[in-house]
């Protein structure tokens, strides 16, 4: 009786299924080699894209449902420490993929697979020069985590950026933009281009932007 009161797991079958669901969602939604596996999205929950430029992402909705079932099964499989262990499970779900990627990029990765892009500190500024021209200046923070020099091409990728104006395809007209990073070099790459677009009601501003990097027949969305 005393042993039963001290047990943590109530139902091992539910626990194993819950762990399987967590692993399934992590694998399908694994942010490598693309940091945006299903395209850039406007609605995210638990690192899962639910809505993108084309509407609701069915794969993302399905993965969120699987994750919710996994959380429920994990909670109901436990006798004690439910809240703490569920929070631990969610923490591992959120951090393990990033840890695996970081270890891989710093040890085994080569070429563009060793390139890290900091989306959060990226910035594209848009300034209307006159009635028919707009200047775009983008600062892209990039890091080469490998021991070798890496040369690659950069294009812009963000179908949700000012979608009514279709600026991103115009930004790629002068591309691809060639970039070279030395071993373990961190650099903010500046790309400056001029777009031939009619005046957008005095539009100006800035935005973060996803990019596509390529090297030969290899490609990543970051």
* Architecture category of domain 112-221 in CATH: Sandwich (2.60)
Main-chain dihedrals φ then ψ at residue 77, nearest 5 degrees: -85, -10
Report how far residue 108's alpha carbon sits from residue 205's, in angstroms, rounded to the nearest whole number.
Answer: 40
> What's the confidence (pLDDT) of residue 204?
66
CA angle, residues 40, 46, 47, in degrees to nearest 5: 30
pLDDT at 164: 42
Report the predicted TM-score, pTM, of the whole model to 2 decimal places. Answer: 0.77
Q: DSSP state, 55?
A: E
Q: Cβ contacts of residue 58 below 8 Å, gap of 6+? A: none
DSSP helix/strand/coil, 120: helix
Spatial contact of 22 and 67, defined as CB atoms under 8 Å apart: yes
- Kindly give the interhelix angle for 12-28 and 58-76, rounded to the nearest 10 degrees: 150
Distances (CA, A) of 34 to 98, 101, 123, 164, 193: 12, 11, 20, 25, 25
Q: Over its length of 222 residues, how does the chain's per-residue pLDDT go in tens digits?
A: 444 557 888 999 999 999 999 999 998 888 777 776 555 555 677 777 777 666 677 888 899 999 999 999 999 999 989 999 999 999 999 899 889 988 988 888 899 999 999 988 998 888 888 777 888 899 999 999 999 999 999 998 765 555 545 677 888 888 799 999 999 999 999 999 888 877 665 556 777 888 899 999 999 988
- Beta carbons within 8 Å of 210's beta carbon, 6+ residues apart: 35, 36, 40, 119, 156, 157, 158, 221, 222
DSSP H helical segments within the chain, as ranges? 2-6, 12-28, 58-76, 82-107, 167-171
User: Residue 24 has which token pair?
Assistant: 């399934």
C-alpha to C-alpha distance for 208 and 139, rounded to whole angstroms? 9
**Residue position matching structure tokens 């993929």:** 97
pLDDT, position 98: 87
158-182 burial: b if 16+ Cβ within 10 Å, else e: bebbeeeeebbebbbeeeebebebe
Residues 156 and 165: beta-carbon distance below 8 Å: no
Residues of the chain with CATH 2.60.40: 112-221
């Amino acid at each position: 009786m005393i042993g039963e009161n001290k047990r943590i797991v109530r139902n091992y079958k539910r626990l194993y299924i819950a762990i399987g669901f967590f692993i399934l969602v992590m694998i399908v939604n694994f942010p490598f080699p693309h940091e945006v596996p299903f395209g850039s999205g406007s609605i995210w929950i638990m690192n899962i894209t639910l809505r993108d430029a084309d509407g609701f992402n069915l794969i993302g909705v399905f993965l969120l449902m699987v994750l919710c079932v996994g959380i429920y099964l994990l909670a109901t499989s436990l006798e004690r420490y439910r809240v703490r262990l569920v929070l631990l499970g969610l923490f591992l779900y959120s951090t393990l993929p990033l840890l695996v990627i970081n270890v891989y990029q710093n040890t085994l990765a080569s070429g563009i697979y060793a390139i890290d892009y900091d989306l959060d500190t990226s910035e594209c500024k848009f300034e209307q020069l006159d009635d028919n021209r707009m200047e775009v200046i983008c600062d892209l923070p990039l890091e080469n985590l490998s021991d070798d020099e890496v040369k690659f091409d950069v294009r812009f990728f963000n179908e949700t950026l000012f979608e009514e104006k279709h600026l991103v395809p115009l930004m790629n007209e002068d591309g691809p933009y060639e970039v070279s990073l030395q071993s373990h070099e961190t650099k903010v790459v500046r790309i400056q281009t001029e777009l031939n677009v009619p005046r957008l009601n005095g539009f100006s501003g800035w935005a973060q932007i996803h990019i596509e990097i390529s090297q030969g027949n290899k490609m990543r969305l970051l």
